[in-house]
């Protein structure tokens, strides 16, 4: 099961997970046991995945898509509210399931399957991939979960690009986005979502309200200096000035406690992870497998970039978690699963039939 496994990918993933647990012991130590359970479940699932035959994994793509779609619909009826949105399904023992996380993996696998055997030569070639993507993105958007909807949309575009999207299609898409976003998407956003974008440009306009998170996060990042204040010694963390510090803003806490050097180290680990995924894409002979790894890369890379950027005031606060670092059962398990799927298709690259 482990023969041919990319050791570099495994080691950097484990390093990020360990760093996340270490950071959680500072922000919310009572949550560490649960996080360890989530990590164990993710690692166990990914390890079992390595033993699956190719045919079985291919057969699971559409059932997984169907499950993700069903769960997103179910959220609309029995979902649990939190933070002004309904994004979770209740589970026994007080746990919650976030179907939008499952949708990320389901969308990557479904798009890889339909795009792997086709060329994007005409506009009609986009019809089926867009029809598969639209229900998942739409259901996530109406929860509302704008951040995850954006992540899913960027994943679709990234996989189109990797599959060979012609440049004139890209130009057409940019022009279309310039028309649709302000005229169609913006009017559909809730006042709360619009306020987040307004606050991005001027957080000081409402320092105790909409701009509070951004201002406190920027204070945390800047106050860490070069070497930081030490583990568990950050005032923004210990005095609870920074909200959602174990989910949306762990990077701000890390930067305050470990400074510029610590922040650079965390970002370096992410860069190593993404570099390994890029190399793996170049080593895969099958179009579908390239798209699977590319989907994982785009999803996790964009999510990590947006999260780190929003902690420094360089992006709007849209509720996107930091992959492999932020606390959360669904997020951790699915992200480990996505790494596991990428490792699985790469490990079996020499046994595949080239198409």
Task: Kindly state whether residue 325 falls inside one of the protein's structural domains.
Answer: yes
pLDDT at 352: 47
* Choice among 74-88, 158-172, 238-252 with the minimum mean pLDDT: 74-88
Cα separations in angstroms, 102 against 71, 107, 192, 217: 9, 9, 26, 29
H or E stretch at 81: strand 80-82
Mean pLDDT of 173-189: 81
Mean pLDDT of 42-67: 87
pLDDT at 285: 85
Q: Taking each helix axis as running N to C, give the angle between helix 250-283 and helix 287-311, from 0 to 180 degrees, rounded to the nearest 10.
A: 160
Instruction: Say if CB 159 and CB 112 are below 8 A apart.
Output: yes
**CA 98 to CA 164: how far, in whole Å?**
32
Task: Kindly state whether residue 337 falls inside one of the protein's structural domains.
Answer: yes
**CA 290 to CA 309: how far, in whole Å?**
28
Task: Kindly state whether residue 129 falls inside one of the protein's structural domains.
Answer: yes
Report residue 355's pLDDT band, with 50, 70 and 90 as the boundaries: very low
Q: State the average pLDDT for the chain.
A: 88
Q: How many CA atoms lie within 13 A of 314 on its CB side?
A: 10
Instruction: Say if CB 234 and CB 266 are below 8 A apart.
Output: no
Task: Kindly state whether residue 86 falls inside one of the protein's structural domains.
Answer: yes
pTM of the model: 0.91
Within 10 Å of residue 154's Cβ, how many Cβ atoms? Answer: 17
pLDDT at 164: 84
How many structural domains are present in the chain? Answer: 1
> Kindly report the CA angle at 127 between 126 and 133, in degrees rounded to 5?
90
Task: Kindly state whether residue 2 falls inside one of the protein's structural domains.
Answer: no
Instruction: Say if CB 258 and CB 224 are below 8 A apart.
Output: yes
pLDDT in tens, 209-265: 778 888 999 999 999 999 999 998 988 988 888 888 988 999 999 999 999 999 999
**CA 195 to CA 146: how far, in whole Å?**
13
pLDDT at 350: 62
Task: Kindly state whether residue 223 falls inside one of the protein's structural domains.
Answer: yes
H or E stretch at 80: strand 80-82
Domain that holds residue 33: 7-351
Task: Kindly state whether residue 1 falls inside one of the protein's structural domains.
Answer: no
pLDDT in tens, 276-326: 999 999 999 888 899 999 999 999 999 999 999 999 989 888 889 999 999
Q: Name the nearest CA neighbour of 101 among 311, 316, 326.
A: 326
Within 10 Å of residue 211's Cβ, how many Cβ atoms? Answer: 22
Report residue 273's pLDDT band, with 50, 70 and 90 as the boundaries: very high
List all residues 6 or more positions away from 85 whose beta carbon is below 8 Å from its beta carbon: 143, 144, 145
List all residues 6 or more positions away from 179 whose beta carbon is below 8 Å from its beta carbon: none
């Amino acid at each position: 099961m482990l023969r041919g496994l990319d050791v570099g990918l495994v080691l950097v993933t484990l390093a990020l997970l360990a760093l996340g647990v270490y950071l959680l012991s500072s922000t919310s130590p009572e949550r560490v046991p649960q996080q360890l359970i989530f990590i164990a479940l993710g690692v166990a699932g990914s390890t079992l995945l390595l033993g699956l035959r190719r045919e079985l994994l291919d057969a699971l793509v559409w059932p997984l898509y169907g499950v993700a779609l069903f769960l997103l619909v179910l959220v609309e009826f029995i979902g649990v509210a939190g933070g002004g949105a309904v994004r979770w399904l209740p589970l026994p023992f007080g746990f919650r399931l976030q179907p939008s996380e499952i949708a990320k993996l389901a969308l990557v696998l479904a798009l890889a399957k339909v795009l792997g055997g086709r060329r994007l030569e005409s506009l009609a070639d986009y019809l089926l991939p867009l029809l598969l993507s639209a229900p998942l993105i739409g259901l996530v958007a109406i929860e509302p979960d704008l951040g995850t909807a954006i992540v899913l949309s960027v994943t679709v575009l990234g996989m189109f690009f990797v599959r060979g999207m012609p440049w004139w299609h890209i130009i057409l898409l940019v022009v279309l986005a310039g028309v649709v976003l302000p005229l169609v998407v913006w009017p559909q956003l809730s006042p709360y979502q619009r306020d987040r974008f307004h606050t991005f440009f001027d957080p000081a306009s409402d320092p105790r309200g909409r701009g509070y998170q951004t201002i406190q996060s920027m204070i945390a990042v800047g106050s860490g200096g070069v070497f930081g204040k030490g583990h568990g010694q950050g005032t923004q963390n210990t005095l609870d000035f920074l909200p959602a510090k174990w989910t949306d803003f762990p990077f701000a806490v890390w930067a305050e406690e470990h400074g510029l050097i610590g922040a650079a180290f965390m970002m370096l680990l992410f860069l190593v992870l993404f570099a390994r995924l890029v190399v793996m894409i170049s080593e895969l002979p099958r179009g579908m497998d390239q798209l699977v790894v590319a989907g994982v890369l785009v999803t996790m890379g964009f999510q990590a970039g947006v999260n780190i950027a929003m902690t420094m005031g360089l992006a709007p606060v849209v509720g996107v978690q930091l992959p492999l670092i932020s606390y959360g059962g669904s997020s951790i398990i699915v992200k480990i699963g996505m790494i596991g799927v990428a490792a699985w298709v790469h490990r079996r690259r020499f046994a595949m039939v080239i198409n």
